[in-house]
Amino acid sequence: MKVDLSDAFHWGFGRGFWYADPIKETEGLTEDELYWSPAPQIQCILWHVGHITHRERFHIKCLLEGKNEEDVIPGKHSVFFHDAYDVQTFRNRCPQPDQVMGWAREVRWESHEFISRLTPERYNVVPVSSFEGNSIARVLIQTVGHTGLHIGRIQLLRMMMQGEDV
C-alpha cells in the first residue's frame, strides 16, 4: 500500500485526527470558560488555542516558507508565543475570543492549502529557513505533535473546570 503523505497530513491537521482541532475542542464554551484557569500560573484554554495557532503559522510560514515572523504573526497575537501570564493580564492583552477563533480557522485553512501544494518529493526538502535542519515532513510532524500536546491540556482544563476527576 502506498502512503499518501498529503492525505496523512490533512488528517493530522484536523481532517480526521481528534487531537488536532482546537476549534472543535472549544465548541460550546462561554467566554468565561475560555478564560478559566485553576491557578494564576496556569494558562487558560483560550491561550492554548492561540498558542497552537501561533506555532502552526510560525512552523509553516517561517520555518518552511522562509517568511519573517513579524510579517506573518499579527502583533496582537504575539501574546500566544510562550510567555506565562496570569489570567487577568492575559485577558487584558489578548484579542477577543472570536478574533482568536477566527485566526485559528484562517491559519488552519492556510495550512491545508500549503499541504495541498506539496508534491511527494517536496516532503524531503530541507528549507534554508528550517534553522534546525528539518525536512518539510518533519516540521509538519512536529506541528501535529505540538498541537496534540496542547489539545490534551485543553481537555484537562475542561475536565477540571467541569469538576471531573483528573
Domain ranges for the chain, please list them.
Answer: 5-161
pLDDT at 2: 73
pTM for the complete prediction? 0.93
Average pLDDT for 88-117:
92
For residue 165, pLDDT over 80 is answered with no
DSSP secondary structure code for residue 59 in this structure: I
Residue range 5-161 in CATH 1.20.120.450: yes
Residue 1 clears pLDDT 70, i.e. is over it: no
User: Comparing 38 with 1, which gets the higher pLDDT?
Assistant: 38
**Contacts with 124 (C-beta within 8 Å, 6 or more apart), sequence order:** 135, 136, 137
- pLDDT for residue 19: 78
Do the beta carbons of residue 11 and residue 136 sit within 8 Å?
A: no
**Backbone phi, psi, residue 36, to 5°:** -65, 140
Lowest mean pLDDT among 85-94, 113-122, 123-132, 143-152: 85-94
What DSSP line would sit under 63-121, residue for residue? IIT---HHHHS-GGGGGGSS----HHHHHHHSPPHHHHHHHHHHHHHHHHHHHHH--GG
Arithmetic mean of pLDDT, 135-157: 95
**CA 110, CA 104: separation in Å to the nearest integer?**
10
**C-alpha cell at position 29:** 464554551
